[in-house]
Amino acid sequence: MADTKTVAPKEGAGTRLWNWLTETQVWKSIFRHDRPDTDRTRVLVMLSNVFLHLHPVRLRKSGVKLRYTWCMGGLSFFLFLSLTLTGLLLMFYYRPTLEYAYNDIVGLREHVPLGIMREMHRWGAHAMVITVWLHMFRVFMTGSYKPPREFNWSVGVIMLVLTLLLSFTGYLLPWDQLAIWAITVGSNMARATPFLGHEGPGASLLRLGDVPLIHAYDDARFALLGGSFVGEGALLRFYVLHCVGLPLGIAFLMAVHFWRVRKDGGISGPL
Amino acid sequence: MGFLKGIINALADPRLFFILAVASLVVLVWKRERIAANSVGYGLLGVLTVFFVFGSFDPNFRLIVTKPDNVPIVGLIFLLVFFTWYSVREGVLNDRRIAAGKGPIEKEEADRVWVWPDLVYTEMISLIVCSVILIVWSILLKAPLEQPANRSLTPNPSKAPWYFLGLQEMLVYFDPWLAGVVLPSLIIVGLICIPYIDKNPKGNGYFTFAERKAEVTIFLFGFVILWVSLIVLGTFLRGPNWNFFGPFEFWDIHKLEALTNVNLAEYIWVRGLRTGQPTFWLTREIFGILLVLFYVFALPVILGKTWFKGYYQKLGAPRYYVGAFLFIMMMALPIKMLLRWIFNLKYIVAIPEFFFNI
């Protein structure tokens, strides 16, 4: 076990105030343990705190080293939380309709003094894509996907896809030229889905006599955009997916991912 | 100065860019013992910094690099160069320890430490540093907002969000059904399959190169070269009409590039056999179809009995065939690139009747 220092409390006004505070009924009702400066209280703080209980009580030394973890998984989670928070604030000011969407963004930019919520949301989203990639990179390079962690790697891959989709759906919402053309380029691919896109190979085989079953108004791209082009239907669809559907999905998988990190033996290390 | 910029512009040509990227991966893997030195890693970062500082004096370079949505990719270049070098270095250091019989450094660090305070404080510090970076970034750089959406005004070039630009770059070589649907799906499936195909019990939970040479090299090729370097290419070096522009080149919308690409069928029927192309699609494309069938179905079998015999025996048939199929699909991209560059080959199989072009 690693040595941990116990700092002797110094006498002074601050210490007396601290001692008084931690003895009050209110404090003791919130924190069910003493200062985490002994082995016993360090265990208790992990077991009695709902936020900290995601952690084990103890972990491998390499698990706290930047050299080993690069901190990228943790940062991805942190960025997700900060995106949830800034996204929530943005939702107060944004209406996903052709009439309002662009003007609401202009309003955010022009009428909010020192406003950086949109910037934090956008840069945070870009950063999260990068941290997720680097997390995956680190996990690969340390062979951490190997048994017993195979399934958790697979969950992680799905979360990677959801991260990209979250970023992709959010890209449309400002409803400027950058947004619709990026989504147009991206979603045009769906039109070439084999069998399910109207310009995909095999789609022309799906027909009843002369009536094609797959055309521009019912193919995969139509399902994605809620229309045959990036319009009002796509904006609403992307908004709902961006704010509700995909975050729910990724939060659910995060629960599985973190749970499995613990259940598969904590952070990886040599056997 | 202009001469230097001219050289860099020439080196950034997609063909050279890709070949140089592959060459640097080869050097990284081959000379890893030398490259593991600290001076190499920090030297690389220094060279990159000098390049970007030098470049920022050029108006064309500045224009493309400081586009708000491209700034994260500049960051990605630095991070990825650093972490690629760093992970190989950690692997080399561990390999030396293993060779000396000491076991990887992570084994020495297998002792347990208390989560409180060791981990909780590390997390808090990272969280604060990350918040500070994010807030400073947000204050310094405004989020982009262009003109309101206008369906009748297509920007040139129209680019997908940056993380999909590798896929958009693939459109140069493959039709959308492959570049936009089939290959991305295979990337996802392939990533999920990795832990089930890789039966090597070594290298679990520590950095190493020597114990996982093939796995690491394939992953670095797929991730760093095919995925990220094509994103960099698509972001910084593709301009109007998806034409190539060097980093110091003006994005001239009238730049012309001759499209002289030829289908395999024309090569065989017209240039080889000196007759016209048959009108019936199956006869016309029969050579291409056979070639593709051979590549997808016969090649894994042949390789399993020759070059990859060892893998076939180690992995067993199901793992080997899934792995070989995914590997062959990954290699389809560089192969098609080379065919395009060397032979101007457009499609191996071209059946526009069914939107089926490979």
Tens of pLDDT along A136-183?
999 999 999 999 999 999 999 999 999 999 999 999 999 999 999 999
pLDDT of res. A10: 64
Task: Judge whether A232 is closer than 8 Å to chain B, CB to CB.
Answer: no
Considering the domain boundaries, does residue A212 fall inside one? yes
The distance of A49 to chain B (nearest Cα, Å) reads 12
- CATH code assigned at A102: 1.20.810.10
Does residue A3 surpass a pLDDT of 60?
no
Considering the domain boundaries, does residue A248 fall inside one? yes
Read off the tokens for B308. 């990859």
- Which residue of B114, B146, B149 is in closest CB contact with A4? B114
Contact A60 B150 (CB under 8 A): no
Task: Tell me the pLDDT tens digit for each residue of A207-260.
Answer: 888 888 988 898 999 999 999 999 999 999 999 999 999 999 999 999 999 999
Contact A2 B111 (CB under 8 A): yes
Considering the domain boundaries, does residue A26 fall inside one? no
Cα–Cα distances in Å, from A161 out to A137, A139, A179, B179, B245? 15, 16, 20, 17, 31
Does residue B352 surpass a pLDDT of 70?
yes
Considering the domain boundaries, does residue A200 fall inside one? yes
Considering the domain boundaries, does residue A49 fall inside one? no
pLDDT of res. B72: 93
Here the contacts of A221-226 (C-beta below 8 Å, separation 24 or greater) are A221/A187, A221/A188, A221/A190, A221/A191, A221/A193, A221/A197, A224/A187, A224/A190, A225/A187
| B80: chain A residues, CB-CB within 8 Å | 134
Residue of A nearest to B358 (CA): A201
Q: Distance between CA A46 and CA A53 in Å, rounded?
A: 5
Residue of B nearest to A182 (CA): B160
Q: What is the 3-state secondary structure (H, E, C) of chain B?
A: CHHHHHHHHHHCCHHHHHHHHHHHHHHHHHCHHHHCCHHHHHHHHHHHHHHHHHHCCCHHHHHHHCCHHHHHHHHHHHHHHHHHHHHHHHHHHHHHHHHCCCCCHHHHCCCEEEHHHHHHHHHHHHHHHHHHHHHHHHHHCCCCCCCECCCCCCCCCCCCCHHHHHHHHHCCCCCHHHHHHHHHHHHHHHHHHHHHHCCCCCCCCCCCCHHHHHHHHHHHHHHHHHHHHHHHHHHHCECHHHCECCCCCCCCCCCCCCCCCECHHHHHHHHHCCCCCCCCHHHHHHHHHHHHHHHHHHHHHHHHHCCCHHHHHHHCHHHHHHHHHHHHHHHHHHHHHHHHHHHCECCCCEEHHHCEEC
Considering the domain boundaries, does residue A247 fall inside one? yes
Does residue A2 surpass a pLDDT of 60?
no
Task: Judge whether A216 is closer than 8 Å to chain B, CB to CB.
Answer: no
Predicted TM-score (pTM) of the model is 0.94
The distance of A27 to chain B (nearest Cα, Å) reads 20
Q: What is the pLDDT averaged over residues B10-36?
A: 94
Residue of B nearest to A138 (CA): B87
Question: Predicted confidence band at A8 (pLDDT cuts at 50, 70, 90)?
Answer: low
pLDDT of res. A154: 97
Read off the tokens for A82. 């900060």
Question: Predicted confidence band at A206 (pLDDT cuts at 50, 70, 90)?
Answer: confident
pLDDT of res. A1: 47
Does residue B5 surpass a pLDDT of 50?
yes
The distance of A111 to chain B (nearest Cα, Å) reads 14
Between B172 and A1, residue with greater pLDDT: B172
| A146: chain B residues, CB-CB within 8 Å | 195, 198, 200-201, 203-205
Does residue A7 surpass a pLDDT of 70?
no
Considering the domain boundaries, does residue A90 fall inside one? yes
Predicted complex ipTM: 0.95
Task: Judge whether A95 is closer than 8 Å to chain B, CB to CB.
Answer: no
| B212: chain A residues, CB-CB within 8 Å | 143
Task: Tell me the pLDDT tens digit for each residue of B170-219.
Answer: 999 999 999 999 999 999 999 999 999 999 999 999 999 999 999 999 99
Q: Which domain holds residue A175?
A: 71-263
Q: Which of A31-35, B44-48, B67-71, B233-237 has the weakest average pLDDT?
A: A31-35
pLDDT of res. B201: 92
pLDDT of res. A4: 59
Pairs of residues, one from chain A and one from chain B, whose beta carbons lie less than 8 Å apart: 285
pLDDT of res. A174: 95
Total number of domains constituting chain A? 1
Task: Tell me the pLDDT tens digit for each residue of B115-130.
Answer: 888 899 999 999 999 9
Task: Tell me the pLDDT tens digit for each residue of A72-129.
Answer: 999 999 999 999 999 999 999 999 999 999 999 999 988 888 889 999 999 999 999 9
Domain boundaries, chain B: 2-104+158-242, 264-357
